[in-house]
Chains A and B, each alone.
Chain A
């Protein structure tokens, strides 16, 4: 049933379709591949995901696990400085051991990748789910539904994520698995901006002829949303989700750094940095490794996010390039 409407809409709108549906996965990949930086970033992220998934395997090869204390590998007289050169690096402990506890640093780092990526991914999916449902419902529901949902979105946006997350983490009972909790809280507190963007896009889409035709022919809102809106919303939603993902990594790391997010013995990069300033002279890798891991991950995700946006919205990208081109023209 939907095909005639699409044809009708496209014919009437001519070339001026403002929000053309995603131009197809193949074209997206072609445009993404054309950007070297984004490709490199995608490679880095693929490697990180692989490391996170293979964490048990990698630590089994090393012969360590992330939670066992090795009191004999730290010097108790000096307050827990790792014994041996480079913080106890060697064949047994590839990246040395943690000060004070003597836990294996490599194992904590790769298991930390699981936590960082897993929490951020779950939080992003939850944000997208809530944001899309609220945004589409506000756009398609009546005036009242829109009023209520838009106000609710404004209220959610007004509540700062870090502050709310900190406060919520104070009252949750202890028995809950912390990574799940952190992901749920980030997802439940920070869906406002994506809901706002989805609503704005859905309102524009609603006025397009083929969507209007579908509505007038008696399709219910659910069917209109699923068949007409969601495919066209994919591009803005993916673009925005790619922006949120690195932010969520940073938020989880910040909460764990403050000691309220993911708690030991579960390792997390942010949490590893909590004590790093005390030990930076005796064990600099204890600071550099988790900080470097965070930096590389967030940088790669940001670059990939930029690349995804360029691939999905080439007009924005070409606008930015025009500026540079003019200058060259002017000089020549």
Chain B
């Protein structure tokens, strides 16, 4: 196969993957529309919230185009998101710019603005924690394979097993009570923007990072260990040994290579799961990210905010998976064929 043809296949794969991602996003938007705006009984009342007057409910019903047939209503919903729309708040008309996810029924604020304002907190939390758990997880996995058959491996296997069995909020509570409460090593976390003071940003996020990362690291350590052990049992590794390649190189280079693909795949697909962890961590530590905002919106039934959050998080998950797939195809051309 010529290089040009392989690249063609790769470009074709990337295009197909992007189209697939767009289709998935549309499907998610349909499901979310049906679940949140069609399935419940009195949509206008739920959307407007429990404190709405009958007149306000009427107005919301008009904005939702409740009298139109279903496909038209969905079209309005999609059009509103992609092109922006105007909302009348009784006295004045507020324009909501594209990408418009509606207005919060609590604060009349644009949901898109609301999410954008909270996003840096969540990204700080998730990306920092992800770096930590990849380092700790893969490191622990490699160490337990390097020391296999010894006491170190047993201890690490036990610790990682216990880690996978601990809910994020339990380890978060314990860390918070011990480190902030009993030992007073760190103050209770308060979010400081990175641009304002990078050092304070890191210190305040240290505990939330650890709470999220320690649990995840345990899963990555287990995966790294089992992938490496499987590679070690393969014939080519036996051949390396026969040629006299040292143990350090066998474990550190050849076995570790076998763990890269599964670990990267898990990391790419973990974005959605880590958002769940972010919800818990943010709520527990009082970090003003989109996770805590979502819990708040759920508790006060602020439907536009809830739906907007779900759409945005779904968007990030789909994009993360598509990017990971394309990167994989670049790294390993065999993926394109399947």
Given known contacts A163-B279, A270-B169, A299-B165, what 18 new A-B pairs fall within 8 Å (CB)?
A: A155-B24, A159-B314, A160-B276, A161-B272, A163-B294, A163-B309, A163-B310, A163-B313, A170-B297, A171-B35, A171-B301, A260-B295, A302-B164, A322-B229, A324-B148, A324-B149, A327-B148, A330-B247
- Residue numbers in B under 8 Å from A168 (CB-CB): 35
B-side interface mostly:
helix
The stretch of A52-60, A125-133, A272-280 in contact with B is A272-280
Tell yes or no: A246 within 8 A of B by CB: yes
Q: Which of A154, A164, A169, A303 contacts B161 (CB 8 A)?
A: A303
Chain A residues near B41 (CB, 8 Å)? Answer: 173
Chain A residues with CB under 8 Å of B272's CB are 158-161, 163
Bitwise interface map of A from 246 to 262 toward B, beta carbon under 8 Å scored 1, else 0: 10001001100111100
Q: How far is the CB of A149 from chain B (nearest CB, A)?
A: 13
Please give, as numbers and ranges, the residues of chain B lying within 8 Å of A287 by CB-CB distance: 173, 177
Query: Chain B residues with Cβ under 8 A from A181's Cβ?
Result: none
Q: What are the 5 tightest A-B residue pairs by CB atom distance, in nearest-first order?
A: A162-B276, A160-B272, A323-B229, A299-B165, A322-B233
Q: List 10 A-B contacts (CB under 8 A).
A: A158-B314, A162-B276, A163-B276, A164-B310, A170-B299, A173-B40, A250-B167, A273-B169, A323-B229, A327-B148
The reply on B318 being an interface residue by CB < 8 A is yes
Judge whether A298 is part of the interface by a CB distance below 8 angstroms: yes
Interface membership of B140, Cβ < 8 A: no
* Chain B min CB distance to A286 (Å): 11
| B142-175 residues at the A interface, CB under 8 angstroms | 145, 148-149, 161-162, 164-170, 173-174
In the complex, how many angstroms separate the beta carbon of B28 from the nearest chain A beta carbon?
Answer: 6
Point out residues on B near A: beta carbons under 8 Å.
23-24, 27-28, 31, 35-36, 40-41, 46, 145, 148-149, 161-162, 164-170, 173-174, 176-177, 181, 226, 228-230, 232-233, 241, 247, 272-273, 275-277, 279-280, 283-284, 294-295, 297-299, 301, 303, 306-307, 309-310, 313-314, 317-318, 321
Chain A residue at minimum C-beta to C-beta distance from B310: A167
Band of interface residues on A: 35 or more
Check if A319 is an interface residue, CB within 8 A of chain B: yes
Residues in A neighbouring B230, C-beta threshold 8 A: 319-320, 323
Q: Known: A163-B275, A171-B301. Is A319-B233 also a contact (CB below 8 A)?
A: yes
Q: A169's closest neighbor in chain B, by CB?
A: B298
In the complex, what residues of A have CB within 8 A of residue B167's CB?
A: 250, 253-254, 257, 270, 294-295, 298
Chain B residue at minimum C-beta to C-beta distance from A296: B165
Contact between A170 and B314, CB atoms less than 8 A apart: no
B319 nearest CB across to chain A (Å):
10
From A158, A166, A277, give the contact of B176 (CB < 8 A).
A277
Closest to B275 in A: A160
Contact partners of B162 in chain A: CB under 8 A: 295, 299
Interface centre among A151, A258, A319, A322, by most B CB within 10 Å? A258
A326 part of interface (Cβ distance < 8 Å): yes
Q: How far is the CA of A166 from the CA of B298 in the complex (A)?
A: 7
* Residues B233 and A170 in contact, CB atoms below 8 Å apart: no
A36 proximal to B (CB < 8 A): no
User: Chain B contacts of A158 at CB under 8 A?
Assistant: 24, 28, 272, 314, 317-318, 321
A328 at the interface (CB under 8 A from B): yes
CB of B170 within 8 A of CB of A294, answer yes
> Which residues in B have their C-beta under 8 angstroms from that of A159?
28, 31, 272, 310, 314, 317
What residues on B are CB-neighbors of A154 within 8 Å?
A: 24
Whether A167 contacts B314 by the Cβ 8 Å rule is: no
In the complex, A291 has a CB within 8 A of chain B: yes
Against B, the Cβ 8 Å flags (1 = close, 0 = not) of A296-322 are 001100110000000000000001101
Verify A254–B276 contact, CB threshold 8 A: yes
Q: B181 CB to closest chain A CB, in angstroms?
A: 7
B298 in contact with A260 (CB, 8 Å) = yes
Q: Is the CB of B310 within 8 A of A254?
A: no
Residues of A near B313 (CB, < 8 A) are 160, 163
**Residues in B neighbouring A302, C-beta threshold 8 A:** 161, 164-165
- Give the distance to chain A from B162, nearest Cβ to Cβ, in Å: 7
- Closest partner residue, chain B, to A281 (CB atom): B181
